[in-house]
Structure 1
Amino acid sequence: MTLKNAPAYIQLAVDIIQILEEHELDNETVLKALSIVTQDFESKTNNTSTSTS
């Protein structure tokens, strides 16, 4: 399977990994930032699902 045929979430993950590696950030910084991003998108997902219920 090539990346071109991969699901959108896999393509996005690869892009994010590449961007983070290019910035040469330490792992702790990256993980903390990703935790914030995850919390933000989970909050948006929860708000969307509760407002449409």
Structure 2
Amino acid sequence: MTNDNSPSSLEEAPADIKLAVDLIYLLETNEIPPEVALSALEIVAQDLKTKINKDQ
């Protein structure tokens, strides 16, 4: 028997895992082809790396 008041694994997960799950859900619900999603994520990753390097 599970306790309904206990947090789920996702609620206890680190912020990056929560964000990844949200992004996967967004991509899947919008039926984004995996190749398009991966290409877009690579662009986002490069942009974020640039911002991190600029702030250092």
TM-score, normalised on structure 2?
Answer: 0.82
Gaps of 5+ in 1: none
Q: Spell out the pairing of 1:20-39 with structure 2 (5 A cutoff).
A: 20-39=27-46
Q: CA RMSD in A?
A: 1.0
SS at match of 1:25: coil
Query: Which amino acid in the other structure matches residue 5 of structure 1?
Result: E
1:44 aligns with 2:51: yes
Gaps of 5+ in 2: 1-7
Larger Rg: 2
TM-score, normalised on structure 1?
Answer: 0.86
**Aligned partner of 2:21 among 14, 23, 28:** 14
SS at match of 2:32: coil
Cα shift at 1:17 = 0.5
Number of residue pairs the alignment of both structures matches: 49
Cα shift at 1:25 = 1.2
Tell me which protein shows more helix as a share of its residues. 1
